[in-house]
């Protein structure tokens, strides 16, 4: 996904410490995660929200520490951070319009 930065446990803090950032915590085997991929890809484009929000992604199977630190128990989970502070959280599949509206309230 071209407009989405892939994170690891080592890069998470640096990549999410400035500005408005959403992180998609997911796994390759997760059907709802796969259903969110086209929505995330669309919204992360510069024509949509990509110039206002940094979109990031983390595979929970490859990076267990960060999801554990945030108490993530179900995926997909979306953590929204503003200047390094968590300001929002969504869990599970979200229809595009609902997801967009949830993100726009943080801009």
Cβ–Cβ under 8 Å, residues 76 and 33: yes
**Active-site annotation holder among 4, 7, 30, 103:** 30
Q: CB-side exposure of 57: number of CA atoms within 13 Å?
A: 19
- 82 catalytic, yes or no? no
Phi, psi values for residue 103, rounded to 5°: -70, -40
**Active-site annotation holder among 33, 36, 39, 75:** 33
- 33 catalytic, yes or no? yes
Q: Enumerate the active-site residues.
A: 30, 33
């Amino acid at each position: 996904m071209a407009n989405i930065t892939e994170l690891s446990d080592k890069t998470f803090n640096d990549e999410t410490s400035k500005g408005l950032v959403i992180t998609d915590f997911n796994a390759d085997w997760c059907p709802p995660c796969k259903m969110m991929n086209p929505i995330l890809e669309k919204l992360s484009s510069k024509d949509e929200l990509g110039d206002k929000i940094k979109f990031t992604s983390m595979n929970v199977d490859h990076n267990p520490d960060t999801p554990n630190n945030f108490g993530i128990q179900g995926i997909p989970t979306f953590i929204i951070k503003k200047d390094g502070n968590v300001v929002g959280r969504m869990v599970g599949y979200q229809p595009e319009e609902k997801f967009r509206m949830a993100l726009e309230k943080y801009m």
